[in-house]
Amino acid sequence: MRSLVEIQTAMTQAILGGDAAPLAGEIVARRADALRRFDIYRNNTFLSLTRHLKAVFPVTAQLSDERFFSYAAFEFIRSQPPLEPRLSTYGSTFPRFLSRFPACRAAPILPAVASLEWAVQAALTAPEKPALPATAFGTASQPSVRLILQPSLQLVLSRWPVFALFEGTHVEGTPLARKMTYTAVLRAGDNIRFMELSSARYVFWRSLSRGSQLDYSASRALARDPKFPLVDEILILIRTNLVVEIDNSNAH
């Protein structure tokens, strides 16, 4: 007799692969056909996960054909099933999957759109902390301090103008030309807004969000734009309620 872990592993493989024959001796459904009941369970599993992906990536689903999205979702679920019970975290690798999916080669904008949509999902499910008041920034005079940003802040780099699709400024039916774009996804409660960033601001915010010190983050931005206005940029972070903590532990 197989152990519970072995049965669970076989069940997972059968659901993903579609072959329940190895489970024939393990599944009992009284008078019903056990393998047919398994097929129903398998179909419902894929349908529920596909619905979840459509809910997280509605614009991607809309831009692609409905059948194509369902096909891509099916292949994604087969190759990368959920690894934890929280569905809110499932789909983080879907944009990368699409970028490598052979059927997406004719529509390279789809992975870019999916990346921005996942950033929205990540922002909505991340913790939101109280922002520091402006008076707290008197302690941020040392260049070696770290400005801790909101966990919900998401930064998206794209080779396509996906920001236009989300803002509704793109004229439907006209082709999209490649353009490097830098987008911040900002959350306030249950509300999401997008902010298009310059290249310098993007690397500044990204460096800070990764825990780098202020002077290092500023040097990264100045490498992109020698006229990068550091004081003004810190004020923008304050006004957008993005700074939640000032870490002076390395200041000296």
Quick: pLDDT tens for 52-76. 999 999 999 988 888 999 999 999 9
> How far apart, in whole angstroms, are the C-alpha atoms of residue 116 and residue 181?
11
First to last CA, the chain: 65
Name the pLDDT band for 148 (thresholds 50, 70, 90): very high
Supply the pTM of this predicted model.
0.84
> How far apart, in whole angstroms, are the C-alpha atoms of residue 202 and residue 223?
12
Beta-sheet pairing, 154-158 with 146-149: unpaired
Does 204 score more than 90 pLDDT?
A: yes
Does 22 score more than 70 pLDDT?
A: no
Q: Of residues 159 and 163, which shows the higher confidence score?
A: 159
What pLDDT is recorded for position 168? 59
What pLDDT is recorded for position 17? 64
Q: Of residues 99 and 29, which shows the higher confidence score?
A: 99
> How far apart, in whole angstroms, are the C-alpha atoms of residue 101 and residue 77?
13
- pLDDT tens for residues 217-236? 999 999 999 999 999 999 99
14, containing H or E segment? helix 4-17
Does 24 score more than 80 pLDDT?
A: no
What pLDDT is recorded for position 76? 96
Of 99-103, 224-228, 241-245, 248-252, minimum mean pLDDT range: 248-252
Residue-averaged pLDDT of the chain:
85
Percentage above 70 pLDDT, the chain? 79
> How far apart, in whole angstroms, are the C-alpha atoms of residue 44 and residue 15?
10
DSSP class per residue in 116-175: HHHHHHHHHHS--PPPPPGGGGGG--STT-EEEEPTT-EEEEESS-HHHHHHT-SPTTSP
Spatial contact of 201 and 229, defined as CB atoms under 8 Å apart: no
What pLDDT is recorded for position 61? 94
